[in-house]
Amino acid sequence: MTASLGFLSVRRHPEHGYFGGYLITNHVARPLEFHCTMPVRPSRAQMLLYGPTIDAFVCGEQIAKALVGKAKVKPTVVLTDCSAVLALSSVCAVHSAHLQFEPGGETSNFHIPQGSPGELQSLHIEPWHLSILAAQPELETPLTACLSQLGSNFDLTEPFQRVVDALLEAHPIAKAA
């Protein structure tokens, strides 16, 4: 079976809220499907009640769940550049991992939420550095199998820039200073 990969990114704008984008590609990074959300703004009550877990709630349990649920193609693994998205595993049975790299597309008004869904375990699957929830060590085997199907020239970081560019194109308000 040929691998398909999901690339899920969330950015936060201080005024307009959280924006999510989800690109599913085949094993050579060709797009199969793309979805994005409207801005999600937690209420003041949610911010108070969720406290430091608000990013994991909004990014993983709301945005990521909606995007993964909407997709027709079910990828082998969902990679994210936002560790808070890993909270998706608490509401959806999907293999997900945080790809550790310095993402582009950050501006003072459009940045990656910094919240964490819990304790993370680092994985090194040459040449990539990933993290998964420590409570899910069984994900290492399917991640390794999926990533080993990719060509040596497949840059796992590049699709994230496409997602962020598409989010900015779909939501010009996020560009505003």
pLDDT for residue 131 = 94
Confidence of residue 176 (pLDDT cuts 50, 70, 90): low
CA distance 132 to 143: 10
Q: What is the tens place of the pLDDT at every residue in 109-128?
A: 788 998 888 899 999 888 89
Q: Which residues pair with 21 in a beta bridge?
A: 9, 36
Q: What is the mean pLDDT of the chain?
A: 89
How far apart are the C-alpha atoms of 138 and 88, rounded to whole Å? Answer: 16
Task: Assign 149 a pLDDT band (cuts: 50, 70, 90).
Answer: confident
In the prediction, which pLDDT does 107 show? 59
Please check the confidence at residue 106 and state whether its pLDDT lies above 60.
Answer: no
Average pLDDT, stretch 52-78?
Answer: 95
Spacing of C-alpha 162 from chain mean position = 13
β-sheet bridge partners, residue 124: 129
- 89 φψ region: left (φ > 0), alpha (ψ -120 to 50), beta (else): alpha
The per-residue pLDDT for 177 is: 46
- Cα dihedral 3, 116, 16, 75 in deg (nearest 10): 10
Spans of all domains in the chain: 5-175
Beta strands in 1-52 (DSSP E): 5-13, 17-25, 31-36
Most confident by average pLDDT, 34-48, 126-140, 147-161: 34-48
| Percent of the chain scoring above 70 in pLDDT | 94
Q: What is the mean pLDDT of residues 91-110?
A: 80
Whether omega for the bond prior to residue 127 falls within 30 degrees of 0, making it cis, is yes
How does 56-93 read in b/e, with b if 16+ C-beta sit within 10 Å? bbbbbbbbbbebbeebeeebbbbbbbbbbbbbbbeebe
Do 116 and 83 meet the contact criterion of CB atoms below 8 Å apart? Answer: yes
Q: Which residues pair with 78 in a beta bridge?
A: 6, 96
User: What average pLDDT does the segment 74-103 reach?
Assistant: 92
Nearest Cα neighbor of 78 from 151, 167, 141, 3 is 3
